[in-house]
Copies of this chain bind each other. A is one copy, B any other.
Amino acid sequence: MMATVTARNGIDVQALLETLEAIKAKPELAEFTFRAGTSWQQGTASTARIGGSMHAGAEDESRREPFMLEGDEPPVLLGHNGGPNAVELLLAALGFCYSVGYVANAAARGIEIEQMSYELEGDIDLRNFLGISQEARAGFSEIRATAHVKAPGASAAELKELCSYVQETSPVRDVLANGVPVKTTLEVVA
C-alpha cells in the first residue's frame, strides 16, 4: 500500500496537480482579472475594498465579504498613521507573492518548509512626488528582498535554485522589475 501525500506545507499537492492538468487541457482556466477599489476618506487616508475577481470569464464568488484595508501616511507625510502607505503595501505584496510561489513550488518538489519570512525594503526620494525636483524618479530607486527559509530536508543549493525560480515566475516581481502598461482614466462626478 502506498502512502499518498495530500498536503505539504499546507498546500494540497493533489489539488495543485489537478489544477495544472486542467489548465494544460484548457489554457483559459489560467486567465484572471483581479480588482481592488479604494475610497478616499480624509486627507491622506483611504479605505480599500478587495472582493471578487474574474476567473476564465466568470465571477469568482468564493468570498462572502470583501477584505477592507486602511491606508494612510505617517505624520511626516501629513497623515495620521491610520494604516500603511502605498509603497509599504507594495513591499508587502512582493513578500506575499514570493511566499506563495516559494511554498507552492517547494510542495510540488517535495521540499518541506518549516519557517519562511521575507524582509523587504525600498529607497525613495520624494522630491519628484512632492513637485520639488525631477532629479530623482517618482518611485523606489531600488527594492531589496531577503528571504529567510528553514527547510532542513533540502540542501542550500536546492533552496537557492528555488529562490531563483520563484523570482522568475513571481507575478509581483515581474511587473515591478519589468514594468506593465498602466492605463488611468478620470471620470468627473457631477
Contacts and interface: CB of A to CB of B under 8 A. Distances in A.
Contacts of A183: 142-145
Nearest to A89: B93
Interface of A: 7, 9-12, 15-16, 19-20, 23-24, 27, 30-46, 48, 50, 53, 55, 60, 62-63, 67, 69, 71, 73-76, 78, 81, 83-101, 103-105, 108, 113, 115-133, 136-151, 156, 159-160, 163, 167-190
Interface of A is mostly: mixed
A169 B131 contact: yes
B67 A27 contact: no
A27 to B, nearest CB: 6
> Which interface residue of A20, A71, A189 has the most chain B CB atoms within 10 A?
A189
